[in-house]
C-alpha cells in the first residue's frame, strides 16, 4: 500500500521528529510524550475491550514513522510489527526498539490476508492522498484476521486548536484532514462491521478521573483527535 509522496518528507525528520512536533504544540503547554502516552493508553484499552488480553495479540502499526509509540506498546503485545514508506524512519525506529519487526511498505502491505489480530494507524491517514483513502482502508482490513479489528486515530478538523497545530507543523503542510464520519465511511466500504468511534482529548488526559470525563465527552466533536474502529467479519 503506497503512502503518497508527501510521506517521503519524513526522511529528513528521522532525527528531529520530536523537536519539530514539540515546537508545533509548544503553545499548549504539553509535549509529544504526553500525547503519545494518551493515545497509546487508549489504543491498549480498546484492544483489550474489543479482543481480550493484549499480551495474546499480534498487531500491525501502519505508518509507524520513527516508532514513537513502540517503547510503550512492545511489552504489552505478543507481537508488534510496523511498516512505513520512509526507509530512513524505519532505520531510526529499528535503532531504538528491539523486539519490533520493521518493514518498508509499498503499494500493498507486504503480508497475506488475515495476518494480524489488529491493525492500526495513528495520525497517518491525513498524509495519504484523498484518492487513496479507500485503498488505504481496504488494505488495513485485508491483513486483519476475521474477527480482528482495525483502529484509526486522526486529527479532528472541527477543533480549532488542532487546525492551528497542523498549520504550524512543517511536515503537515500537504495534509488533508478528514472527519470522523469520512473515516467511518471508508471502513464500512472496506468491508468492516460494527464500525464506531469517539472524539478524544477534549480534556488532555491519559488515565484516571480526568480521562473518564474526557471519555464522557466522546460523542461531541470537541476533542483534538478521534478514533474509529471496525471489526472484520468472520464470514
130-178 pLDDT, tens digit per residue, is: 999 999 999 999 999 999 999 999 999 999 999 988 888 777 888 899 9
Residue 1 has pLDDT above 50, yes or no: no
Cα–Cα distances (Å) from 94 to 88, 98, 100, 122, 169, in that order, read: 10, 7, 8, 18, 25
Domain count, the chain: 1
**How many H-runs (helices) and E-runs (strands) does the chain carry?**
8, 7
* CATH value at residue 91: 3.40.50.150
Phi/psi of residue 91, each to 5°?
-60, -40
- pLDDT value of position 25: 61
Per-residue model confidence as pLDDT tens digits over 72-100: 999 999 999 999 999 999 999 999 999 99
- The overall longest dimension of the chain from CA atoms, in Å, is 49
Alpha helices in the chain (DSSP H): 17-25, 32-51, 70-73, 87-96, 133-142, 160-168, 180-189, 208-216
Determine the average pLDDT of the residues in 108-114. 95
Per-residue model confidence as pLDDT tens digits over 6-49: 445 555 555 556 555 556 565 566 667 888 999 999 999 999 99
Query: What's the predicted TM-score (pTM) here?
Result: 0.90
**How are beta strands 193-200 and 58-62 bridged, if at all?**
unpaired
In sequence order, what are the residues at sequence separation of 6 or more whose Cβ sits closer than 8 angstroms to the Cβ of residue 88?
10, 11, 12, 14
In sequence order, what are the residues at sequence separation of 6 or more whose Cβ sits closer than 8 angstroms to the Cβ of residue 173?
none
Q: Which domain holds residue 128?
A: 5-231
Amino acid at each position: 500500500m503506497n503512502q503518497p509522496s508527501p510521506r517521503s518528507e519524513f526522511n529528513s525528520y528521522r532525527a528531529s521528529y520530536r523537536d519539530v512536533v514539540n515546537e508545533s504544540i509548544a503553545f499548549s503547554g504539553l509535549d509529544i510524550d504526553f500525547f503519545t502516552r494518551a493515545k497509546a493508553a487508549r489504543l491498549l484499552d480498546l484492544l483489550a475491550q474489543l479482543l481480550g488480553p493484549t499480551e495474546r495479540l499480534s498487531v500491525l502499526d501502519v505508518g509507524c514513522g520513527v516508532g514513537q509509540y513502540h517503547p510503550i506498546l512492545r511489552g504489552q503485545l505478543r507481537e508488534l510489527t510496523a511498516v512505513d514508506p520512509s526507509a530512513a524512519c524505519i532505520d531510526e525506529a529499528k535503532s531504538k526498539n528491539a523486539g519490533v519487526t520493521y518493514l518498508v511498505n509499498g503499494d500493498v502491505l507486504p503480508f497475506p490476508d488475515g495476518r494480524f489480530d489488529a491493525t492500526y494507524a495513528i495520525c497517518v491517514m491525513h498524509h495519504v492522498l484523498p484518492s487513496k483513502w479507500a485503498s488505504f482502508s481496504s488494505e488495513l482490513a485485508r491483513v486483519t484476521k476475521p474477527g480482528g479489528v482495525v483502529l484509526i486515530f486522526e486529527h479532528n478538523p472541527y477543533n480549532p486548536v488542532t487546525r492551528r497545530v497542523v498549520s504550524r507543523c512543517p511536515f503537515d503542510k500537504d495534509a488533508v484532514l478528514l472527519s470522523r464520519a469520512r473515516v467511518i465511511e471508508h471502513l464500512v466500504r472496506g468491508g468492516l462491521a460494527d464500525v464506531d468511534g469517539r472524539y478524544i482529548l477534549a480534556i488532555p488526559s491519559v488515565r484516571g478521573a480526568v480521562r473518564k470525563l474526557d471519555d464522557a465527552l466522546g460523542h461531541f466533536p470537541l476533542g483534538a483527535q478521534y478514533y474509529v474502529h471496525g471489526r472484520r467479519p468472520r464470514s
